[in-house]
């Protein structure tokens, strides 16, 4: 259907057109709405004698979502003046990914190392890689923030946060 060749327009700055993103997002909405309608039908989506069943509202909510997203989807296909502008410039995307990828790695690491150690690593990496700070400035921040958090949550408020092998070795 809409086949966009990357780089067809403004040279190597081009990533993906706004129109394609519009189509992708509205298709996502449509997919979610179909899923919701399907599950709502399963648990009963009609109006029983004593009011709506459990799936009644989700079903019609999803129906409205389906219809409104379908309008967005179709209007982006049939429009005479498609929005071919760039959704995000390549350099911008690179910047966004420079935050997003380390954050994703950080989130995954929490599961293995616990939140304190992974926070320290994350902050250190971020400051060193993006901020180009010297090590003697990176270390204090990277150590102090998790330490303060630890004091506040584990000791003061008694709120357990995810912990890893290091904390376990220290008896927490």
For another protein (CB under 8 A), the number of binding residues is 69
The answer to whether 74 and 1 have CB atoms below 8 angstroms apart is no
Closer residue to another protein (CB): 152 or 166: 152
Cβ neighbours of 136 (radius 10 Å): 7
- The H or E element that residue 138 is part of is helix 135-150
Helix (H, G, I), strand (E, B) or coil at 169: helix
Closer residue to another protein (CB): 4 or 61: 61
- State the minimum distance, in angstroms, from the CB of residue 100 to another protein: 7
* 109 HSE (CA, 13 A, CB side): 16
Helix (H, G, I), strand (E, B) or coil at 47: strand
Binding mask 23-62 for another protein (x = CB under 8 A): --xx--x--xx-xx--xx--x---xxxxxxxxx-xx--xx
Question: Which of 6, 7, 111, 134 forms a contact with another protein (CB under 8 A)?
Answer: 111
Question: Which of 14, 15, 117, 122 forms a contact with another protein (CB under 8 A)?
Answer: 122
Q: Which residue has the tokens 């706004």?
A: 18
* C-alpha 151, offset from chain centre: 29
Binding mask 72-91 for another protein (x = CB under 8 A): x--------------xx---
Tokens of 139: 């270390």
Nearest to 21 by CA among 65, 82, 67: 82
* C-alpha 126, offset from chain centre: 19
Closer residue to another protein (CB): 7 or 129: 129
Contact residues for another protein, defined by CB under 8 A: 18, 21-22, 25-26, 29, 32-33, 35-36, 39-40, 43, 47-55, 57-58, 61-62, 64-65, 68-69, 71-72, 87-88, 92, 95-96, 98-100, 103-104, 106-107, 110-111, 115, 119, 122-123, 126-127, 130-131, 133, 141, 145-146, 149, 152-153, 157-162, 171-172
């Amino acid at each position: 259907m809409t086949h966009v060749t990357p780089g067809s327009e403004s040279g190597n700055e081009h990533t993906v057109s706004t129109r394609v993103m519009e189509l992708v997002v509205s298709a996502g909405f449509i997919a979610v709405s179909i899923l919701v309608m399907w599950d709502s039908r399963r648990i009963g989506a009609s109006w029983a004698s004593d009011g709506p069943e459990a799936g009644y509202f989700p079903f019609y909510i999803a129906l409205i979502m389906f219809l409104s997203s379908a309008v967005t989807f179709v209007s982006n296909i049939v429009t005479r003046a498609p929005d071919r502008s760039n959704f995000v410039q390549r350099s911008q995307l690179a910047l966004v990914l420079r935050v997003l990828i380390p954050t994703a790695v950080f989130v995954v690491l929490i599961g293995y190392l616990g939140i304190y150690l992974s926070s320290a690593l994350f902050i250190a990496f971020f400051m060193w890689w993006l901020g180009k700070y010297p090590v003697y400035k990176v270390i204090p921040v990277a150590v102090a923030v998790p330490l303060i958090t630890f004091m506040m949550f584990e000791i003061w408020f008694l709120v357990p946060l995810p912990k890893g092998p290091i904390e376990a070795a220290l008896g927490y």
